[in-house]
Chain A
Amino acid sequence: MLVWTRPGKALTWIAFAVVFGVLVLAPFVVVIAAAFAGTWNGVLPSNPTAGHLQEALSGDELASLSVSLQTAFLGGLLAVAFGTWGALAAHGSRFGRVADALHHLPIAVPSVVVGLGLLVAFSRQPILLNGTKWIVVIAHLVLMVAFSYGTVAAALQRVDPSYADVAASLGASPARVLWQVRLPMLRPAIASAAGLSVALSMGEVGATIMVYPASWRTVPVSIFALSDRGQTFTAAAEALVLLTATVLVVFTVDRLRGRAVEQ
């Protein structure tokens, strides 16, 4: 369509493969390879081992995985609930623009600043949360609310409002319209917001590193601690664990979404 000659096409594809392979794909492949490498002193890793992966799945590191999963599910699901609620309330409201701007605030500023804010605000009366796991959950909740709100608000603009109007005109109460018409129509968007929230929460590092107590250390914080101590191979193995857990969770949530579309 754009390049017509055979050598021209071949040249374009080679350039594409090099740029995409080296720049975009290589880093992820390298982390996975390093997770299984005993040493890496040349172009290719050597002394393949599963030892690092075992370390990444035992003791403190395994506890981190559990902490990350709990934080992601608790923070992520609360975020989806409040994000959906916010988007439904803002839709067609006079304060829609204000709500829009406020909900996007946490992702327009750096996550480190969001973390600093929570640290400053909740280390004092009236709400003392510093040193508990709740400050981490709240940090994740705040960041993921923004993403959930955005996803659901975008879907709301595409949904035909006449279904809800018809249901109401046929005598359905507002609560029934919400539960049986509006929310089911938003189900794909809510499911994809949930998948995105959980995935982003599993990898969140900026706000978490500002607020986490020693007793509630997420996987990204553990990976940073390992990498900072020079244990880069174990760090890579734990990154692989994080990637696998994230993909599994997102895949499961995505299946819910797939079924919703088929209905």
Chain B
Amino acid sequence: MVPPLLLIAVLVVYPLALVAVESAPAWGDVLGSVEFREALIRTVQIAVCSTIGCLVVGTFLAVVISFVPFPGARVVASLVDTMLALPSFLVALSFTFIYGTAGILRTGGFLTTPWAVVLAEITFYTPFVMRPLLAAMSRLPRAQLDVAASLGAGPWRVLRQVVLPEVRPAMVAGGSLTLLLTLNEFGIVLFLGAKGTTTLPMLVHTKGIVMFDYPAACAIAVVQIVLSLGLYALLRKALGGRRARLD
């Protein structure tokens, strides 16, 4: 019992505690700065928009794979599983070629807006919503759908009144996990690197590594920790006795 916990204590708890201690002198400056408040609002906005987008796209894709299956649907489902292990910055890198000044769509201005971050996060995090949904949908008896349809319910009604109520817990689980991960997302924001889209993790990096202002970086990090852990605690509670799986 002791050695693994000792490892976590020395390598995780001790550093995070030091971050809190080091942040003390910077609180006044950080909380008062426009830069910080804008980043905080931007972080939450981007996370909420991305999560809603992921839920819409992920639910649609999962419904088609599960209930309107086509040849190769299983391949697509396993592809989705693979994508979970890929790094998020690949998506941001590809956006340079798709939306960049000399790319496929040539919408140079788009890359510097928060919407580029939102679109990249939807691309990357949709599989995180799809996985629990696909699992829940595979447990749903097909007969239920057939009976509803045979009694005259159209596809929309079957979807709304039979499928969605059954998979709601999976949607809540996938959605809250995505919200946490998008609040914490760094790779995509770093690679897109637009001035107007500074988020809290990005600000921690800028203050700490570019400006060597450790106390300010620590203060922002503490806000981020409170935000993330608060949401994580809520997530575990919302999911009841079941563990909030992050992996």
Chain A residues with a Cβ under 8 A of chain B: 1-4, 8-9, 12-13, 15-16, 19-20, 23-28, 30-31, 33-34, 40-43, 82-83, 85-86, 89-90, 93, 95, 99-100, 102-114, 116-122, 138, 141-142, 145-147, 150-151, 153-154, 195-196, 199-200, 202-206, 209-210, 220, 223-224, 227-228, 232, 235-236, 239, 242-243, 246, 250
Chain A residue contacts of B12, Cβ below 8 A = 102, 105-106, 114, 117, 142
**Inter-subunit contact A113/B243 (CB<8 Å):** no
Interface assignment of B34: CB less than 8 Å from any CB of chain A = no
- A3, A146, A204: the one within 8 Å of B155 (CB): A3
Q: How many angstroms between the C-alpha atoms of A1 and B246 in the bound complex?
A: 32
**Could you say which residues of chain B place their CB within 8 Å of the CB of A121?**
14-15, 18
Residue B94, interface by CB 8 Å? yes
Residue picked from B13, B97, B228, B246, most chain A C-beta under 10 Å: B97
* Cβ distance B197 to chain A, nearest Cβ, rounded Å: 15
Query: Is B174 among interface residues, defined by CB-CB distance under 8 A?
Result: no
A19 contact set on B, CB distance < 8 A:
57, 60-61
Which of A99, A151, A243 has a CB less than 8 Å from the CB of B90? Answer: A243
Which residues of A have CB within 8 Å of B132? none
Count of chain A to chain B residue pairs whose CB atoms are closer than 8 Å in the complex: 251
The listed residue with most B CB atoms (<10 A of its CB), out of A95, A116, A119, A142, is A116
Bound-complex Cα distance A25 to B75 (A): 13
Q: Which of B136-152 contact A (CB under 8 A)?
A: 142, 145-146, 149
Task: Report whether A109 and B85 are in contact in the complex, using a CB–CB cutoff of 8 Å.
Answer: no
Q: B41 at the A/B interface (Cβ < 8 Å)?
A: no
Interface of A is mostly: helix
Question: Which A residues are CB-close (under 8 A) to B135?
Answer: none
Give the A-binding residues of B (Cβ under 8 A): 1, 3-5, 7-9, 11-16, 18-19, 22, 57, 60-61, 63-64, 67-70, 76, 79-80, 83, 85-91, 93-98, 100, 102-104, 120, 122-123, 126-127, 142, 145-146, 149, 155, 158-159, 163, 180, 183-187, 190-191, 193, 200-201, 204-205, 208-209, 214, 217-218, 221, 224-225, 228-229, 232, 243, 245-247
Question: What's the least CB distance linking A212 to chain B, in Å?
Answer: 10
What residues on B are CB-neighbors of A250 within 8 Å? 85
Chain B residues within an 8 Å CB radius of A20: 61, 76
Task: Give the interface centre of B14, B16, B22, B102 by most chain A CB atoms within 10 Å.
Answer: B16
Bound Cα distance A210, B208 (Å): 8
Partner of A23, one of B126, B184, B186, B218: B126
In the bound complex, residues from chain B placing their C-beta under 8 Å from that of A90 are 1
Which residues does chain B contribute within 8 Å of A246, judged by CB atoms?
Answer: 85-86
Please state if B180 and A108 are interface contacts (CB–CB under 8 Å).
yes
Interchain CA distance A174-B229 in the complex, whole Å: 37
Q: Which 8 A-B pairs have the closest CB atoms?
A: A203-B87, A117-B15, A86-B4, A27-B94, A110-B184, A121-B15, A2-B67, A199-B85
**A12-B68, A34-B97 known; A113 vs B90 contact (CB < 8 Å):** no
Complex Cα spacing A142 to B8, Å: 8
A210 adjacent to B205 (CB under 8 Å): yes
B63-A2 in contact (CB<8A): yes
In the bound assembly, the distance between CA atoms of A196 and B82 in angstroms comes to 10
Instruction: Chain A residues near B224: list those with CB within 8 A.
Output: 109-110, 113
Which residue of B has the minimal Cβ distance to A104? B246
CB distance from B151 to the nearest CB of A (A): 13
Contact A8 B8, beta carbon cutoff 8 Å:
no
Task: Give the distance in Å from the alpha carbon of A192 to the alpha carbon of B144 in the complex.
Answer: 35
Are B246 and A30 touching (Cβ within 8 A)?
Answer: no
* Chain B residues with CB under 8 A of A227: 93, 96, 191
- Interface pair A1/B142, CB less than 8 Å apart: yes
The answer to whether B64 and A16 touch across the interface, beta carbons within 8 angstroms, is yes
Task: Write the nearest CB–CB distance from B52 to chain A, whole angstroms.
Answer: 14
Known A30-B94, A121-B14, A235-B93: A220·B61 in contact at CB below 8 Å: no
> Besides A26-B94, A40-B103, A153-B243, 16 other CB < 8 A contacts?
A3-B68, A3-B155, A19-B60, A23-B57, A27-B123, A34-B94, A40-B102, A85-B3, A89-B5, A99-B4, A102-B5, A110-B200, A120-B22, A204-B87, A220-B87, A246-B85
Q: Which residues of B contact A146 (CB under 8 A)?
A: 246-247
- Give the contacting residue for A31; candidates B1, B5, B68, B93; CB below 8 A: B93
